[in-house]
Amino acid sequence: MRTQQEVNTRQVGWILVAVFCVGTLCQLAGAQECCREAASKIPYDIFPDVFPGEAAHPSAATIVEVHSKGQVPSVIIEARVSSGSQHFGEGFARYVSRDYGSTWRMTRREFPSPWGGGGMAFYEAPSDSRILYKQPLGTGIYLRSDDAGRSWTRPKHLIGGMSRRVFAERIGKRTQSTVSFTIVAVHPAQPRTAFATLLIEPVGQVQPAKGQKAFQNLGDLYVTRDGCETWTLFAEGMGEAAALGIAPSNPRVMFAVGSEGVVKSTNGGKTWVPVGQQKELSAPPYIPGRAERQAKLFPGIRFGPVPVEIYRIVVDLRDEDVVYIVSNKGLYRTLDSARTWCLLNTGPDILDNVNSLGLNPADPQELFVGTRLGTLYSKDRGCHFERIYPPLRPKDSPTGPQE
């Protein structure tokens, strides 16, 4: 257990982090280098809520969608609601800003996201806003709407011609099991084409056989080309938590997370090759003092390095050479088609801080980044950032105006 002095010290530290940029907009990069080489040895701090019993940071926000009618985009985020809310109670709600974060309004609308991954379960096909995919809680499958949500159909979800239960038995060698889907991307030009990972899981309260895990991630990517009616194998060995980025300007260019790191395809997924600086991207984060803290908290137990986790890969809407990686080490960027990478300066280097990224469709140089300390905005592909949420005087407070 930590001493009261250690707790107080960490609390003071996080108060300083929380107020490191005060005001509605604040510059984060300043005189610091805006994008650091991937080989740089960067010391990371950790959030105090990795310890049991401590709440997530109240400024945490996730980018749900960025859409544009004209030059100024509408930004939709999901952020924490205070316990005093009269509308939503504790938890998270969605907020909309149409003026780069000067004002925010709470909304009851459920916005679909145009990208997969990152824990989302409601998607909009990038090339046709009428085509929606939504996963009801606990079902493991997706409903599809062909009319912008006015009506929904339940696709068959056949895998290689087999039902989910038959597939789980034949491929996963498991009885009384089924398959759940997680969409990681929807094709930017083909609205009925989506890519997903598959998880074999027990039905109901069935216990796995001796020596078996309750859940079995197949570690492969599957594709549907008919709106979730049928699925076939797309790419093997893509890891257990796949992220897939497809270039809207040239969908044959794809980036994914394979078993050995980030890989790239230039022929629509037929073949894959590792991206540049794979060693640097895959290097575990450097956390000063971690071993000593763990030795005090858990004497006699040895922990391995913290693994790199990649949550999302985003390709520039107009330039296939510009790619972003959202990871637990932060936000990486390449400008030369993944030959070299650098780590953007999004403020304090804190492990697992950055969680999501959205680009302005009207101007892809404008980035909106979701972090556990708030929402950031950049107008120059991430060289400089400003914090736009939480605002200094939020009109979007839980008791403020809604839409």
Domain boundary residue among 177, 209, 242?
Answer: 242
SS (H, E, C) 89-102: CCEEEEEEECCCCC
Q: Is 296 helix (H, G, I), strand (E, B) or coil?
A: helix
Q: Is 166 helix (H, G, I), strand (E, B) or coil?
A: helix
More confident residue, 35 or 118: 35
CA distance 65 to 183: 16
Q: Report CA-CA distances (Å) from 11 to 57, 263, 285.
A: 11, 40, 23
Mean pLDDT of the chain: 83
The pLDDT value recorded for residue 52 is 38
Residue 271 and residue 197 share a domain: no
Domain boundary residue among 219, 242, 265?
Answer: 242
In single-letter form, the type of residue at position 31 comes to A
Vertex 36 angle, CA 30 and 41, to 5°: 120
Asked if 354 and 331 touch (Cβ cutoff 8 Å), the reply is yes
The pLDDT value recorded for residue 401 is 53
Residue 212 and residue 229 share a domain: yes
Query: Which of 188-192, 214-218, 303-307, 312-316 is predicted least confidently?
Result: 214-218
More confident residue, 242 or 187: 187
For residue 277, name the pLDDT band (cuts at 50, 70, 90).
very high
Residue 8 has pLDDT above 50, yes or no: no
CA distance 135 to 120: 9
Residue 13 has pLDDT above 70, yes or no: no
Collect all residues with Cβ–Cβ distance below 8 Å to 227 and sequence separation of at least 6.
131, 133, 144, 146, 155, 191, 192, 194
Residue 192 and residue 266 share a domain: no
Domain boundary residue among 221, 242, 263?
Answer: 242
Residue 402 and residue 309 share a domain: yes
Residue 235 and residue 214 share a domain: yes
Tally the domains of the chain: 2
Residue 292 and residue 223 share a domain: no
Beta bridge partners of 124: 132
The pLDDT value recorded for residue 7 is 39
Q: Report CA-CA distances (Å) from 247 to 145, 191, 207.
A: 24, 15, 42
Can you tell me the mean pLDDT for 167-178? 83
Report the candidate in 76, 147, 142 with the shortest Cα–Cα distance to residue 113.
76
CA distance 299 to 112: 46
Domain that holds residue 151: 118-242
Residue 350 and residue 259 share a domain: yes
Which of 30-44, 245-259, 283-297 ranks highest by mean pLDDT?
Answer: 245-259
Residue 371 and residue 320 share a domain: yes
Residue 225 and residue 151 share a domain: yes
More confident residue, 386 or 71: 386
Residue 169 and residue 99 share a domain: no
Residue 341 and residue 270 share a domain: yes
Residue 253 and residue 237 share a domain: no
Over the stretch 331-365, which tens digit does the pLDDT of each residue have?
999 999 999 999 999 999 999 999 999 999 999 99
